[in-house]
Structure formats: structure tokens, C-alpha cells
Amino acid sequence: MKRLHNFSAGPAVLPLPVLQKAEKELVNYQGKGASIIEMSHRGPEYTEINETAAKRLKRITGADDDWEILFLQGGASTQFMMVPQNFLSSDQTADYIDTGSWSSKAIKEAKFFGNVHVPFSSKESNYSFVPTDDQLQPSDNAVYTHFTSNNTIFGTQFRKEPATNGSLLVCDASSDFLSRPIDLDKYGLIYAGAQKNLGPSGVTVVMIRKSFLENQVTDEMPTMLNYRTHIQKLFNTPPVFAVYMVNYVLEWIEEKGGLTYFEKYNEQKGGILYDEIDKDDFYRGTVDKASRSLMNVTFRLQSEDLEKRFLAEAAEHNLSALKGHRSVGGIRASIYNACELDSVKALVSFMQQFRSKNG
Ligand SMILES: *Cc1c(COP(=O)(O)O)cnc(C)c1O
């Protein structure tokens, strides 16, 4: 069996042992005579999966009982709307740091509900950096501060949480959730679509702090959009298969050594790739060095023609999904938790060959 060196930005590569476990259990889940996706979500099998996944996520992140874990549908894009629906009223202001396309989509949704203040935007520079604390101009009275911890398209990432004027953070962590330890004390809510770093598409993990939930502006809203609905009980059919897969990915994360393990592993992978890019002018990183992402590594070559050839020859070397997002162009290597060091080494070695042939 030949597996690709898969650098897809999302849905992205999953850990092979997790896929194999799911393959083995697909037709007959733990001897029950049916697949997990053919059983009631109220039955003991799925109930255990859901509870185990939530417990594992709490252990991995160090979340205490002040935190609720939800497995919702609608993608991170639904959270763009659900967060302000619950926590921003028309006479309030929320701060939204604008570091890329996903941030600006979140801003657009929040404006339907209340006032949005943008303490910083790197739009003018085609989102080539994330702010330092002294570049931020927060409002005095923000009810929360929203930021995108990793900018999947542009290849930038916050090294640490942005400063606020005392408000808690709300974070779209879709493309770097569980890639490194997280200082939960600074957060009120964290959401992440699973398909980048956590599992298949179809589930969005939401971590919400109970004391933050006290700030909910109203209970008068459609049932499915109210976080309390999902905290009180499993309200409707969850994305069973996606949660089942996320549960196994969480198991794999714990077995590997948790977030400190992945922080080191991701630094190692990003390190060798950026070293190769920085060797000379043949490859050019597209973002400021201090803002570089360890999840999505973006770079360009001297011409679009050369980039086309790079992508075509890379594919012949089993290196797949390296084409940059259309708004940046060039090359993007997404190297999430499940992308193995061997794949990054194969890419680096190809980059060296390609440079010596064309440099
Ligand atoms: C992919 C992505 C999204 C969109 O997620 P959906 O689940 O497709 O709605 C939002 N934010 C970030 C940072 C992403 O990488």
C-alpha cells in the first residue's frame, strides 16, 4: 500500500494507526454486529465514545470542571455566527484581531449582532504578519477579544496569546488546536473545525468556560444556536463518525506524549523546512519570520512557471497537495500533528534536488 506524503491544508492527513483502527472496526464495532455509524447515538456505545472524547480532551488541555466540551456541526464557519449570537448584543463591542481571511469572515458575522472594534489588521500587507502586543489597539470595554491563532491560508501563527484590555479571549484554533500547550486561563471559548488537526470534517470542537457562559446576552434565540442547548444534553444527532474518529486521534495524542510532545515535534518539522527555505534566495518565505506558522509553511519560487514545475515534479515524488491557496499563490506545506517527520524530510530532500537542478 502506497500512502502519499500528504501536505493537504484540510481535510488533512490523519494518523495511520487511527485509520487502521477504524478500518478494522468499521463493519463490526467491538463485536456488536453493526458499525458504530449504524447504532443509536443514545445507545451505550456512542455515549461512551462521546464521554471518553470529552474526558480525553480535558486531560490533554488541562481543562478543569469549569470547562464544557461540545462536539457541534456546521464547521468553524458556524461558530463565526454562534459566538456573537450568544455573547455580543447591539449595544456592546467585541474586539476582533484581523490576521487573515478567516478572521475577516468572523468579523463580518459579528457585525450582524453588535459593534466590532478591530485592534489590529495586517490586511494592507496581504496578511503577512500577526501583531506584537504593542501593535494592538484594544477598546476599553470589549466583551471578548476574538483572534485566529493560526492563519491557515497565509501561513502565520501567534507565538503567544495577544494582550487584551482584560477581556477573555475567544479563539478560532481550527488549524493549530492541540499542536502545542495552551494557557486556558486566558480563554473564554475556543473552537476548532476538526478537519485540520483533529479528525475528519463534520465536527467542530468547542471548549467553553462556564463562567464565560454567564455573559450570554440573551436566551432568546433559535434552539440550535444556543450553547446552553448543547451543554444541557445531547440535543440532536451528533456527527457520530467524526466524533468517533476524533476520540481515536485524542487517544493517539495522549499515547504519543500529549501537547508538549507535539510542540517539540512540530518545531522540529517546521525548523527543517524553514531552514531549507532560508538557505538562499531560491525559495522565499511569504511572511515575516517572527510570524511564521509551524502548521502551514508558505513559500514562493522565482517565477510562477518554476512553481508549476515544482508542483508537478513534487507529485512525481509522491509529495501531494502542496499548491498554495489562490490568494497567496506559490507553495503551502501543511504539516499538522499527523504529518510525519519522514514526510517533511522527503519534501526537504526534494527541495534540495529541485534547487540544484534549477538554481
Ligand atoms: C478551515 C478553517 C475555517 C473554516 O472551517 P469550516 O469547518 O470549513 O467552516 C475557519 N477558520 C480557520 C482558521 C480554518 O483553518
Contacts of 172 (CB under 8 A, 6+ apart): 76, 79, 80, 102, 103, 106, 146, 147, 148, 149, 191, 192
What atom of ligand 1 comes closest to residue 100's alpha carbon? 13
Average pLDDT, the chain: 97
Q: Is there a catalytic annotation at residue 172?
A: yes
Q: What is the pLDDT of residues 130-168, one digit of tens each?
A: 999 999 999 999 999 999 999 999 999 999 999 999 999
Q: What are the Cα distances from residue 338, in Å, to 14, 214, 335?
A: 5, 36, 8
CA-nearest residue, atom 8 of ligand 1: 75
How are beta strands 331-334 and 296-300 bridged, if at all?
Answer: antiparallel
pLDDT at 202: 98
Span from the CA of 357 to the centroid of ligand 1 (angstroms): 37
Examine the pLDDT at 319 and tell me if it is beyond 80: yes
Residues of the chain with pLDDT > 70: what percent?
Answer: 100
Q: What is the pLDDT of residues 74-99, one digit of tens each?
A: 999 999 999 999 999 999 999 999 99
Residue 118 CB burial class (10 angstroms; 0-12, 13-18, ≥19): middle
| Residue found by looking up cell 504539516 in the block | 335
pTM: predicted TM-score of the whole model, two decimal places:
0.98
pLDDT at 1: 72
How are beta strands 169-172 and 187-193 bridged, if at all?
Answer: parallel
Examine the pLDDT at 124 and tell me if it is beyond 80: yes
Q: What is the pLDDT of residues 3-18, one digit of tens each?
A: 999 999 999 999 999 9
Q: Is there a catalytic annotation at residue 98?
A: no
pLDDT at 359: 87
Which of the residues 67, 95, 196, 323 is marked catalytic? 196
Q: What is the pLDDT of residues 224-255, one digit of tens each?
A: 999 999 999 999 999 999 999 999 999 999 99
Query: Which residue out of 79, 83, 97, 152 has the highest number of ligand 1 atoms within 8 Å of its CB and is therefore the one to mutate?
Result: 152
CA-wise closest residue to 145 among 121, 102, 116: 116
* DSSP string of 181-219, one letter each residue: ---GGGEEEEEEETTTTTSSTT-EEEEEEHHHHTT---S
Q: What is the pLDDT of residues 214-223, one digit of tens each?
A: 999 999 999 9
pLDDT at 2: 86
Q: Which domains does the chain have, with CATH numbers?
A: 17-255 (3.40.640.10), 258-358 (3.90.1150.10)
